[in-house]
Amino acid sequence: MIEDRKQRCGARLVASIQSALAASLVATLGAGVCDVWPTEAVASQALAQKYSCVSCHQPNVKVVGPSWNDIRARYGEDKGTAAQLVASIKDGSSGKWGAIPMPPQSRIPDADLQSIAQWLLDGAK
């Protein structure tokens, strides 16, 4: 009888440990998936930080260049396309937003430029 109780207790302990390990594995893999495949907005915001766009641009206020909201107001809502915005970022511009020119950002891969441009047009959220 004592031996049966020990076996049942041991089996419950093993099942509990397996369950905890499985839950931990799922949580770890879930977090990893978020790191590998973040949402589009988070990925685009990360790209804006990676390529130092945030040095001159902020969500709501003009710094050196226009805010994300000002860019969306000018190019969004059927006023322009992501391709137009990509070209403007890649080639740089002068006089569109004031006296300070935007230097060309040709080092940024086209796919990343497309993500950033679409993110801006979608409201940078």
Q: Residue 64: what residue type?
A: V
Q: Per residue in 80-96, pLDDT tens?
A: 789 999 999 999 999 98
Q: Given a cut of 90, is residue 53 above it in pLDDT?
A: yes
| 7-34 per-position pLDDT tens digit | 665 556 455 555 444 444 444 444 444 4
- The chain-wide mean pLDDT, for the chain, equals 78
Question: Do residues 103 and 88 touch, judged by C-beta distance below 8 A?
Answer: no
Report the 10 Å Cβ neighbour count for 31: 10
- Asked if residue 35 has pLDDT above 70, the reply is no
Helices 110-121 and 68-75 sit at what angle, rounded to 10 degrees? 90
- For helices 82-91 and 110-121, what crossing angle results, to 10°? 120
Q: Which two three-digit tokens encode residue 96?
A: 């569109």
